[in-house]
């Protein structure tokens, strides 16, 4: 668990992503389970990923974190569109090493942990007033989990990505509405 003062448990943690994490992130992002629930569903090329990383690591409105489970890199959390003047808001998303976690029988616990850690990071470390995101309408399991964490859904909108029409649902969580441990 990451805390505002940087202390962490041995079991799981979010830490700043490093250049050593880039290839892992690309591998995880290209796993079929992650592509099926992403707006961009094509296989990300190494060049495309390198351009994203070069931009993300120098962009003050972004923060890319690596999720560690028992010391093993197991996912990525991205905060973006951070607005830290006036109402403090930002958007987020995450993906896990679905294949590796499934192999170890740790998918659900990791999913719960990374969501808890990301929400705590957003409000306790980044000090956001509101955390926003998006979920695809067909991703009913994530939508249920988001509700469990008290995210509120907005009206869906149709978009076309990678030649497919999808319904994207915005989600939002105000700091005062979050579920506390």
Tokens of 53: 């990383």
pLDDT above 60: residue 106: yes
Beta-ladder partners of 96: 75
pLDDT above 60: residue 157: yes
Please tell me the predicted confidence (pLDDT) of residue 49: 97
For the chain, give the DSSP string.
-B-TTS-B-SSEEEEE--GGGHHHHHHHHTSHHHHTTSS--SPPPHHHHHHHHHHHTT-TT-EEEEEEETTEEEEEEEEEEEE-SSS-EEEEEEEE-HHHHHHTT-HHHHHHHHHHHHHHIIIIIS--SEEEEEEETT-HHHHHHHHHTT-EE---EEEEETTEEEEEEEEEEEGGGPPP-
d(Cα 94, Cα 43) in Å, to the nearest integer?
17
Q: Which residue has the tokens 């579920």?
A: 179
> Residue ranges of the domains in the chain?
12-130
Query: Of 53, 48, 36, 63, which is closest to residue 141 (Cα–Cα)?
Result: 36
Distances (CA, A) of 125 to 16, 19, 112, 132: 12, 22, 19, 16
- Name the pTM for this structure: 0.89
Q: Answer whether 30's CB lies under 8 Å from 45's CB.
A: no
Q: Which residue has the tokens 């509700």?
A: 147
Please tell me the predicted confidence (pLDDT) of residue 4: 42
The CATH code that applies to domain 12-130 is 3.40.630.30
pLDDT by residue (tens digit) across 1-45? 444 434 344 566 999 999 999 999 999 999 999 999 999 999 999
Please tell me the predicted confidence (pLDDT) of residue 11: 61
Tokens of 142: 């994530």
Q: 33 burial class (0-12, 13-18, 19+ CB within 10 angstroms)?
A: middle
């Amino acid at each position: 668990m990451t805390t505002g003062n940087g202390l962490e448990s041995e079991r799981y943690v979010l830490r700043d992503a490093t250049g050593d994490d880039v290839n892992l992130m690309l591998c995880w992002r290209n796993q079929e389970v992650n592509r099926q629930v992403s707006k961009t569903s094509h296989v990300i090329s190494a060049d495309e990923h390198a351009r994203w990383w070069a931009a993300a690591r120098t962009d003050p409105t972004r923060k890319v974190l690596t999720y560690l489970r028992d010391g093993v890199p197991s996912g990525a959390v991205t905060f973006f569109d951070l607005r830290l003047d006036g109402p403090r808001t930002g958007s987020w998303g995450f993906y896990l090493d679905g294949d590796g976690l499934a192999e170890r029988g740790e998918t659900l616990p990791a999913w719960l942990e990374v969501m808890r850690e990301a929400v705590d990071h957003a409000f306790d470390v980044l000090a956001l007033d509101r955390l926003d995101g998006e979920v695809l309408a067909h991703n009913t399991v994530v939508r249920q989990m988001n509700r469990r964490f008290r995210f509120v859904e907005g009206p869906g909108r149709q978009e076309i990505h990678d030649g497919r029409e999808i319904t994207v649902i915005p989600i939002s969580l105000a700091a005062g509405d979050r579920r506390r441990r």
